[in-house]
Structure 1
Amino acid sequence: MRKILFFCVVLFFQIGFAQNPNDCNNAILLCGDTDLGINPSGIGTDEFAQPGNLTPTCFNFQTDQVWFRVEMETTGSFRFALTPDTPQADYDFAVFGPVTDCNNLGAAIRCSSTNPAAAGVTGETGLNDTEVDTTEGPGQLGNGFLQELSVNAGEVYYIIVGLAIGQGGFSLSTSGSADLPPSPTANPITDLDVCDDFGLQDGFREFDFTPLDADVLLGQTGVSVTYHESLNDANIGVNALTFPYVNTSNPQEIFVRAIRNDSDCTDFTEFVLTVDDTNVLTDADPTIICSDNTTESFDFATIIDTLVANSANFNITYHFTAADAENNLNPQGSSFIATLIEETYYIKVIDPTGLSCEYAISAPLFVANPPAIGVPADLFLCDDDFDGFLNVTLSTQNTGILNGLDPSLHEVRFYASNTDRTMNQNALGANFINTQNPQPVFVRVTETRTSCFSDTDFNITIRPRPVLAPQEDIIVCVDAAASTRLSVESGFDFYDWSTGESGATLNEIAINQPGSYTVRVTNNFGCESALTIVALASDIAVIDDIVTQDFRNGDNTAQFIVSGPGDYEFSVDNGAFQDSNFFDGLYKGFHTVRIRDKNGCGTLTQEFVVLDYQRFFTPNADGFHDYWTLDGLNTFPTAVIYIYDRNAKLLFQMSPEGPGWDGTYLNNPLPSSTYWFTLQIPNKPLVKGHFALKR
């Protein structure tokens, strides 16, 4: 028996072809020495739904599958080995027979569904002459191989192969002593190397391969020949080429199928089809002569080396028409007159050795005038940060430069030097910071269709802004009689204040209210600077409260709680001013506080009282300490004062506005002793104390 190899050379084959081998009725016939290329795809008809076909016990084969038909020519043994393209892809198989057709397959006589990965074996499977088991699997059982078949001449067997796990195709080889039906021979075809059709040299042209049939058969009879674009199509006999046929790639492999007319045995060969001159430039880019003239003479010989590689090795002629070039008629000199209207001329190229195909190049030619651009105005721009350098948007010049030309058809580029423009290098970006002042800018406008250009240039001058010295915040006294003056540097062309005041000499204004005041100053270049001056409010203080600590025997205190927009300092009884609002060491009686705004917006003066009492008195009519009293008590007219002896006997109720107590009870002098008092002032704590009467 001769060896049969199945090569997986395509990645799929379509369900629905007339000869779809995933059905038993379309099983591929195994013949002598035949190459096949296939990948199992689809399950086709479920043959095991028929009463005469028993589902294999090892696997149900409802997966991508392919069927084979084996017709035995002689008696002997039959073996095969299936090797997956992908290692450990799980291919299972079952063998049926001997049978007469696909309707009565009966039970499988061989069945293998070992999982290579689970069983720890390779993906190779089939029949061999060493195994004795006829079934194995599923899962880990077995090594993939079963016992070979003993066959008789004339018997027919069917093999189903299913891809249980994994992907990719497989190769299959047969062996044993039994012979299979003979295959036809598809004799080798010499690769075809042909010239392209005249005209468009694109590497594609029409073909008729039927004259090659005789070379394929070499005298064989009863064999038909078809041509295909893939080995898969050739294997299953679909999509045969019809003629005339145009190649779909270059180079392209064509597969030839030879099939016996009395059986399905086939053989295959292939050849490579190459169409010359796929890289020949047959449609040259237009030659454009940029000129201010309407006509120019042009010699194609000056550019022939760019159109034809190694042009000196070819016979080259020039023609007015494609027909003249095709037929080698009316050759012209290489020089032609170009006008503003595009004309196409034709260059015929012939290899005198005959090794290369002849062809013609279409070569358009015309004159293009440079774009008529405008002269841009120089840019005079105001500096933004007083350093003489500025980020300039150059595209603002485009309108003046293009002068009405369509911007979609013209490219404007800017350069910092004429050398850069000439070399077309270092084009400036859309935003450019000048490197000198003034800064020359060189411009090139290129028409995109023709690449013709015109040049111009302009200058950028960065002008200085007015320099205004920053100012500290100032103070404005609220409701002051005199106005406060704001001023900035003089000598500029115009001043515009946020108050609405403006003028050529108005560098100073008067204000009466606090706030932020902004002035915009314009110099003789028309450049502006702005300065904001903050006027802070200040005013005389308002006393919100005077908090005193009384009855501390000469160490009384006072704290002044004030409000107002100013910054204040404090003085008591004409003492030195201090920032603190707290004073101690105050004696009883009346005092004067002065609260002064440090910003000069006025001083508040107010009297206040500190309450305290005498620790003793001497009512001896000498004019000194004859009465016990509390200085300043008259400022609290509703105060109530009671005086007691040491036995808590009420001796006297003293009036806040009276002279005090004279040391008598019912007009009788009381003896020297210690006496007690209580003082109740509304909204203040009750005060208790004692004092001495001395005689």
Structure 2
Amino acid sequence: MKQKLLNLFLFLIISITSFAQVANQPNDYVVCDDDNDGFALFDLTYVDVQVLGSQSAEDYTITYHETQSDAINGINALYYLYVNNTDWLQIIYVRLEDNNTGSYDTTELSLVVNPTPIVTASTSLELCDDDADEIAVFDLTIKDAEITNGNTDWSVTYYETNADAQAQTNVITNPTAYTNNSVNGYGANPQTLFVVVTDINTGCLGFTTLTIRVLPNPTPSNTIPDLVLCDEINTGDEVEVFDLTVNELLIFNGEPGTSITYHVSESDAFSGSNSISDPTQFSNTVSPQTIYARVTNNTTGCFAVVDFDIYVDSLPDLNFESSYSFCVGDTLVIDSELSTLDYSFQWALNGNPIPDETQASLTVTQSGFYEVSVISLLGCGTTIILINVEEIVCTDSDDDGVIDSDEDINGNGDLEDDDTDDDGIPNYLDSDDDGDNVETIDEITLISGRSSNNTIHQFIDTDEDSIENYLDDDDDGDGILTIDEDYNNNGDPTDDDTNSNTIPDYLESSVALNVNQFSTIEFKLFPNPTKDEVSIQFNISQVETIKIKVYDVQGKRVNVSHNTDENRTILNTSHLSSGLYFVELQNGAIKSIQKLIKE
């Protein structure tokens, strides 16, 4: 019997141990403080589930108490909506009681109040408008430090609506390049964005707003007239002292609260650097010169840049020859190459104004003394030029386009001793004066060129060696004779265009197919400048095969006697006038030219 009672007692003990209530330890109950006073409202039922664990809520009653003693005695239970009475952190006690047996268990609960980021609306973020559409690209993140007051434990995100901010959805994904909303082609201006500030340690949130605004730029007139001054003493230096501010009323365009600075470069104007210290006393450095005016709103700092030119006007530089001639039956055009927008003209013949001849050029049909009065429309003065024009009988014995008088290359009055290509035919009877297989008439009728005094034909010099093409057997100066640039071997170099750019090869130095023939004669001239004689020293020994020719700056050959001794030749230059000459040495197909100055 005793043994049966003992077994029953052990069974009851085991049963009570197996089914006793357990008050599980809950996690800290953490809330964010909306006013940062350290106190917050807690819904204590929030932790019931954690205290119960796997136990059924129907079998147990949970109560919360401010002291452990109250929890043990089951008295002074707290209302389930509870405000902590100790700021930031308070420990309260939990009683779990079995509804059937009255048995209980207790545990602790930490009530934690975390501060919430309290932020206010930041100052607005403003950008200047670049094209008057009220749309700009903003870097919102430059306001992060202001919004967080430098708190590195807080992060900032931006939203277009308050609803999105509260729900933390549809965050602006690229806050460093945000374009304000567009409405009918123009920006929403100003626009309010909604900001969420998160404490990265606690997850507590704060809310504020950010206003973004596109500011208008000043609108100065973009048609600022140029400033023009006359060269007071007509020195030709084109430098005067300008007052750049004379058009400021037009530049301001009636906008108050703006200021102007002047700059000599566009980059300086846009950066606002290196402004002209005294724009009322500015001396130009070139003419024309562009000046850049930066118009700045003194409040916003937004600016616009406009420009205008300044230049100095002087008496016109007329490059007329003192005399011209034209052939009987032809006409002559005398052109000032000036603009009627800047100057007015009046032509006269033998002292009498020619009616209706008020243009920049004059077509002459008769000989006489012509004069042109050129008046600056800016009132900077008048220039009068007198020109003698002769009508001459032009004989062209070989019909090559160059009159006989111009074919007296050495200028001695004897046409018979001028034979440029040494073919035994004087130039005035030779239709190919330089023997390059290109007719003289073709070499003087190129579109480009310049007029030469007392010369009816155009002065054409492709390689700019001061020898006219019709007297030059290497017109493009590439070291290959024109006659050797007949690459199709039909006897006519004018139809060879190997690179198909419409320029004959003999006029284009970049095309030199016969490079195996290309070489030069190296020689020295000394003394240079010279007075009575000059020595030529060669880099080859067979000097007797070298032909020596001397030309003046007009391309006319001049007679110069010379003596050769071994590798040196002495030229007698005593009879030459002072000036620039060209010494040409030719050995077969090889030709070299050097300048010679006669003092």
TM-score bin (small chain): 0.3 to 0.5
Report which of the two structures shows the higher radius of gyration computed on alpha carbons: 1
Greater fraction of residues in helix: 2
Give me the TM-score of the superposition, normalised by structure 1: 0.36
Greater fraction of residues in strand: 1
